[in-house]
Structure 1
Amino acid sequence: MSYVPPHKRQTKGSPSLNPTPAPESLSRSVFNKRKDNKFRTRNLGYTDHTILKWFSVGLADELRFSSLVSFQSLSPESFETKAGLQPLSLVSTHQGCNEGIKNELIDTPWLLIAANVKKDLLLSFQHMKREMEEADMAQVKSSVVARFGTVLFYGISSICKDSLKLNSLTETTLRKMKGSFHTDVPPSYMDYVENRVVENLGLEYWQGKELYYVKLSDNLRTESTVSCKCIVAKDHNKIQLYKIELNRVRQMVADMSILGKSSDLIKIDEEINEIKDLIGSAILDSELPGGLRWPLNKRHSSGGRYVVNVIGHTTAKSYRNSSIRFKFRHANRSKFKSSTGEVTQEIFLKLPGIVSELHKQTMDEDVVFEMLKNNLKLMWDLCLLDGSNSQS
């Protein structure tokens, strides 16, 4: 979503609206906070009303959470480590015994998920529409997206270590840990969803797309990140600007650890020309992380205003019908500031049917809820495999 100026992000005189708490029956481990939540998404903007939450899904008896759930250490080579901390994921203690965990799971978890996110989804959309109207951004595109990946936890304190030794993983333990959401999925799971799930749903191939991403810092607007989508130029050795955005904004993010399943700008011509010149000086280089390089001392714009700090190269395929769209993406990213890079395979499920209903002037909340339940059931039944890894 395009940039919302900070002074226009809040409705003057309007009362503060708080997100609704999660139902107690969902999980004992529920976080529902504002934009200081630990489960923040990298390189994205948040409004003053952004709702961020995490919860676990699946257990029939939440009182048995500590005895049925534990941590699993993951290979640090597979993930971007945070200050050398080893990433951990939630798993069932019945790992390797499908029948054992099945007896402990609820039969219709998608209904509880839908009930948990419904009010926050509607509230977030109301905030978004208000902010769009105030900033006069009628053409901004909104979306509802489900991502597949792994919820990771970092940073075990001495108290947490003692709790883990006693096999008493609790909400208190999880609250003391930092978390993130990792969107990389195994190649086998990528193949399964693209071939089996897409075929079962009867989705048609829509398009393939290759893009390069360049994120710029702005020395005059230090709070802003300029995101440039680029395509390969005709000479196949350069890239050219395709689309530009300021601070993509998320109004709501709900991360879920699913137990018993696995898968594991203000557009002034002078500014645009400066950005185009910077993009045009990039050289394609498939041997480097992110697939791009700049001549010596050319990673800054000629006016010194913009600096390249993140780059990425993605290839994607999409399949769709009238209400859903699956996007399969291979991404290669690099951060100049930290000199780190990552290669990931990602799956997104976009839900344009829900967005269309939300945009109606006479939007029916019951219809939105029914669509949400149906889409969640589809994901649960077809996209999440039986197993023990945390998945969202």
Structure 2
Amino acid sequence: MAYVPPHKRHLKSDATSSSSSSITPARKLNHKSKTINYVYAENAKWRWLIVGLANESRIPDLTLLHPVSMEFFQQNSGENPPPLTLMLKEIGAKNDYMENPWLYVAKTLKQDLLFSFQEVNKLMKGFEFGEIKPSLVARFGKILFHGDRSISLESINGSSLPLDTMKRLSRSFYTNIPPSYIERITSEFIPKVDFKFEEEKQLYNLKISDKMRPDISIACKCTVAKGTNKLELYKIGLNQVRHLVADMSCLGKNLDLRLMLFTKKVSVALTDEELEDMKSMIESAVLDSEVEGGVRWPLGKQSSGDRYTVIGVRYMKAQTYRNSVMKLNVRCADRFDYRSSHRDVAEEVSLTMPGIISQLREQNVNTDLALEMLKKNMELIWKNF
């Protein structure tokens, strides 16, 4: 059965309510959210920046917290009141704004980047070449503010707050991009910066728990086998580990930005019997466009014996473009977590930076070159997104 994107599905009237309430707006920016657990390295760095103003003291004068546009935020998310986003409330003088915001980003994150680069480089030296795969990714979306126990959204809606107060608020990074923006990227941005189409692919990513190793989860990339319409194991590894997350509220821009450095272990030591058990569990899946994530299992087939269990699934249809320094990914993702019944549906855009990552593979990391490459990449992003 062909996969039908969620926004094009025709739901029965009695299913609309339950389906709508299962869609949540974002993944929480904490180490262990109510819905999805993320793995952070022991010395991971985590930053939030406001980018665009020349003087931090002018933040309360020129910004306010405003309900996020419904173009970005799914109205049926179930969150009431809707979260807030940071925006300019008035146009300041020319000297209120940074001339080159990308230089500020590189300067502010320099020490965290250098530390994280060195940590990843040390990690890679402890494994065989190619066993640890690092990635540096810029993702586009909106930083949403959800208040906290002492500050309600109603009390700060439309308010201008000091930076220290905003830092206390719970935040999330919402990656769903409006269709109009996706269209602008494909029709304007891609030709302008000389990106060339590389490939289009459809994958089902399964997240599998292992009772023998409860501290990790196994990531299985699967394709659809021709002729059988069944899932087929393509790659197996461990879920990503985050080393640096830097979220940026980009004033004067339509989108905010997340810069993230993470690693994946791309091989898992399994016996032939263990691998066959996992393949059998994967191949028993039934493709079904009417369910979350596009996959379901017959009763009792979602687990393999007492050891492996599918705890999450993500369907992804992605188009990849590449130029000499970066790779652009435009994708539709439909994620579902079986433990929490949390669903996340999004049209997403991200840029990976393989040129910078190549420096991490060197015996001695050329940090000056890596930072210079980051400045150029951030300049391209700021001027074109």
- TM-score (ref. length: structure 1): 0.80
Q: Deviations for 1:220-267, whole angstroms, at most 9, x for unmatched residues?
A: 222211111100011252111111111311211111111111047332
Change (3 A) 1:317 1:87: same
Say yes or no: does 1:282 pair with 2:285. yes
Q: What is the CA–CA distance in structure 1 between the aligned matches of 2:334 and 2:93, rounded to whole Å?
A: 36
Structure 2 residue matching 1:360: 3-state secondary structure: coil
Structure 2 residue matching 1:148: 3-state secondary structure: strand
Say yes or no: does 1:123 pair with 2:84. no
Q: Give 2:14's aligned residue.
A: none
Q: What is the CA–CA distance in structure 1 between the aligned matches of 2:314 and 2:146, rounded to whole Å?
A: 25
Q: Is the 8 A contact 1:39 1:54 kept in 2?
A: no
Bigger drift between 272-281 and 84-93 goes to 84-93
Q: What is the CA–CA distance in structure 2 between the aligned matches of 1:231 and 1:198, rounded to whole Å?
A: 27
**Residues matched between the structures, number:** 342
Q: Is the 8 A contact 1:186 1:263 kept in 2?
A: no
Q: Is the 8 A contact 2:120 2:360 kept in 1?
A: no
Give the C-alpha shift of residue 141 in structure 1: 1.9
- One-letter amino acid of the structure 1 residue matched with residue 220 of structure 2: C
Give the alignment of 1:46-125 within 5 angstroms.
46-74=40-68, 75=70, 77-78=74-75, 86-94=82-90, 100=92, 104-125=96-117
Q: Give 2:263's aligned residue.
A: none
Q: Is the 8 A contact 2:210 2:309 kept in 1?
A: yes
Work out which of the residue numbers 152, 163, 178 in structure 1 matches 2:170.
178
In the alignment, structure 1 segments of 5+ residues that lack a partner are 1-35, 384-392
Q: Give 1:215's aligned residue.
A: 207
Q: Give 1:333's aligned residue.
A: 335
Change (3 A) 1:101 1:379: farther
Q: Is the 8 A contact 2:29 2:172 kept in 1?
A: no
Q: What is the CA–CA distance in structure 1 between the aligned matches of 2:329 and 2:116, rounded to whole Å?
A: 24
Q: Is the 8 A contact 1:189 1:263 kept in 2?
A: no
Q: Is the 8 A contact 2:84 2:153 kept in 1?
A: no
Q: Deviations for 1:325-366, whole angstroms, at most 9, x for unmatched residues?
A: 111111111122222323211111011111123333454333
Q: Is the 8 A contact 1:58 1:260 kept in 2?
A: yes
Q: What is the CA–CA distance in structure 2 between the aligned matches of 1:123 and 1:252, rounded to whole Å?
A: 9
Give the C-alpha shift of residue 67 in structure 1: 2.1
Change (3 A) 1:305 1:72: same
Work out which of the residue numbers 352, 376, 379 in structure 1 matches 2:378.
376
Q: Deviations for 1:161-214, whole angstroms, at most 9, x for unmatched residues?
A: 697379341233223221121111111111111221110011111111110011
Q: What is the CA–CA distance in structure 2 between the aligned matches of 1:77 and 1:204, rounded to whole Å?
A: 31
Q: What is the CA–CA distance in structure 2 between the aligned matches of 1:371 and 1:103, rounded to whole Å?
A: 27
Change (3 A) 1:85 1:226: farther
Q: Is the 8 A contact 2:65 2:160 kept in 1?
A: no
Structure 1 residue matching 2:135: 3-state secondary structure: coil
Work out which of the residue numbers 270, 275, 278 in structure 2 matches 1:272.
275
Q: What is the CA–CA distance in structure 2 between the aligned matches of 1:161 and 1:354, rounded to whole Å?
A: 40
Give the C-alpha shift of residue 369 in structure 1: 2.1
Change (3 A) 1:239 1:101: farther
Structure 1 residue matching 2:185: 3-state secondary structure: helix
Change (3 A) 1:340 1:162: closer
Structure 2 residue matching 1:51: 3-state secondary structure: strand
Q: Deviations for 1:65-123, whole angstroms, at most 9, x for unmatched residues?
A: 112221122356448567x67422111113xxxx5586632111100001122222221
- One-letter amino acid of the structure 2 residue matched with residue 55 of structure 1: L
RMSD: 2.6
